[in-house]
Amino acid sequence: MFTPESNQFTLSLPHWATDQLNSLPAKLSTLEERMEAVLLFAGLNVRHQSGGPFAAGVFSADSGRLVAMGVNRVMPGNCSSAHAEIMALSLAQQRLGSYDLGAPGSDAHQLVVNWCPCAMCFGALLWSGIRSLAISGSGPPLEELTGFDEGPLHPQWREELARRGITLQENILREEAIAQFKTFAASGQPVYNGRQG
């Protein structure tokens, strides 16, 4: 039988995230500082075994104020779409009370991620109203190092961002991000791709 409770679901960050968020500076001015914070959360998510090795932050692009941070919650949340970008974008939208992070009168918002978004998250960021994307890298190293399937990202994804007025900055702290994926791969923690094999 269906019940009101069976017709809703909740996703949340792990318990350790709240204190970590409150210990960050209120504003992170440079892209490197923002990516450092994202990498910190990705690393902690692996260390606490609270999800996959991914984190994403939504920042006010100009001031550097952190609006929301997300980490991967697929396995703990029993939700294949609980990627770090979905968590960060959704938390930012709830916090700002708007489905459109680029609504008139709002700050321009930036999404910072510790690798190129997968096929699903690329779609999600297009619909989110985000005005800029900053990533540590893209392409084969992630899949080769970890085995995570990033899906059929469109080969013209950079042009599609540009066409929609979303600026892209790449290779922010790339070596640090790759080093983290190597640590994750060596940890033996699960890679959860659906319908694997």
Which residues bind to Zn ion, rule: CB under 5 A?
83, 118, 121
Q: How far is the CB of 118 from Zn ion (least distance, A)?
A: 3
Q: How far is the CB of 1 from Zn ion (least distance, A)?
A: 34
Distance CA 154, CA 135 (A): 17
How far lies 95's CA from each of 114, 165, 184, in Å? 22, 24, 31
The amino acid occupying position 5 is E
* Nearest alpha carbon to residue 173 among 38, 82, 53: 38
Q: How far is the CB of 126 from Zn ion (least distance, A)?
A: 13
Q: Is 119 helix (H, G, I), strand (E, B) or coil?
A: helix
- Kindly tell me which of 106 and 157 has the beta carbon lying closer to Zn ion: 157
196: left (phi over 0), alpha (psi -120 to 50) or beta: beta
CB 68 within 8 A of CB 57: yes
Q: How far is the CB of 120 from Zn ion (least distance, A)?
A: 5
**DSSP line for 58-72:** EEETTT-BEEEEEE-
Q: How far is the CB of 119 from Zn ion (least distance, A)?
A: 8
- Kindly tell me which of 56 and 101 has the beta carbon lying closer to Zn ion: 56
Q: How far is the CB of 143 from Zn ion (least distance, A)?
A: 13
Count, residues in the chain = 197
Distance CA 114, CA 136 (A): 5
- Kindly tell me which of 59 and 148 has the beta carbon lying closer to Zn ion: 148
Structure tokens of 3? 């019940």
- Kindly tell me which of 33 and 126 has the beta carbon lying closer to Zn ion: 126
- Kindly tell me which of 25 and 151 has the beta carbon lying closer to Zn ion: 151
- Kindly tell me which of 33 and 149 has the beta carbon lying closer to Zn ion: 149
